[in-house]
Amino acid sequence: MVNDLVTFGLTALAGYFAIANPISSTPIFMALTAGEQAPVKRIIARNSVLTALIVVLIFSVAGKLIFEMFGITMGALRIAGGILVSIIGFQMLQGRSSAVQVPHQVEGEEPSPDILKAQLSVAVSPLGMPMIAGPGTIATAVGFSPHPGVLYTLVSITAFTAGAGGTYFMFMQAERIVRFLGDTNLTVVTRLMGLIVATIGVEMVLTGMGEAGRNFIQTFYAMPLPRPV
């Protein structure tokens, strides 16, 4: 029993880490929080990880029920997430930050509640979801949930929590990376990551369309044929 739980936990950890990929999320965090003050960046990093953790927790416990209740398919979720990611990537590619970042506060002044709210909203979307807890992560959480016993669900959530902790650590190192690169190199990296993010979004859309197409074909062939006259 213990060996099975350990094996399952390691499998879940590897799966979540490979899909969430904190290494690729860090440059995106750097681009979306460029120009923000250090305390705001820390709050954004914390809130994005907590948002992703809450999403995975919900779908680990009641993922299948949510999909059935709202009639959601994984293909549709991938398409919606891919469109959102593509829009963000296009903005980064044009050298513009996401609209949720503006306006910035004046250096040295305490931000107003409206400005702080606009700055922190980037933690929920796109960082928390769909970058960290994207369609692939949600599908993995739902896939791990059918295992018998509550212990397996707890192990799956614990595995994602460990991966989320690694993501938070990478985000906290972003400030050092920014200082190392400098403004000019950071602009180049931002545009390059914009291209990569847009490509990831398109890939998510194509994957979702493929899944939707396969489901349609399966449903079509499952329909009863009319009897010959």
Amino acid (one-letter) located at 40: V
Q: In 3D, which of 185, 152, 184, 133 has the Cα closest to residue 19?
A: 133
Output DSSP code: residue 99: G
Contact 125, 84 (CB under 8 A): yes
Residue by residue, pLDDT tens for the chain (229 residues) are: 678 888 888 888 888 887 777 777 787 788 788 778 888 889 999 999 999 999 999 998 888 788 888 888 878 877 887 887 788 778 777 765 544 444 444 445 555 666 667 667 888 888 888 788 888 788 888 877 766 678 888 999 999 999 999 899 989 988 787 677 676 776 777 777 778 778 877 887 898 899 888 888 888 788 776 655 5
Output DSSP code: residue 40: H
Cα–Cα–Cα angle for 127, 114, 110, rounded to 5 degrees: 95
Contact 160, 59 (CB under 8 A): no
CA 32 to CA 190: how far, in whole Å?
9
Residue indicated by tokens 């213990």: 2
Contact 93, 154 (CB under 8 A): no
Which pLDDT does position 98 carry in this prediction? 47
Q: How far lies 16's CA from each of 11, 74, 157, in Å?
A: 9, 17, 10
Which pLDDT does position 106 carry in this prediction? 45
Give all strands (DSSP E) within the chain, no chain letters: none
Contact 115, 103 (CB under 8 A): yes
Q: In 3D, which of 156, 163, 164 has the Cα closest to residue 45?
A: 164
Q: In 3D, which of 171, 17, 6, 195 has the Cα closest to residue 90?
A: 195
CA 41 to CA 63: how far, in whole Å?
31
- What are phi and psi for residue 97, nearest 5 degrees? -80, 165
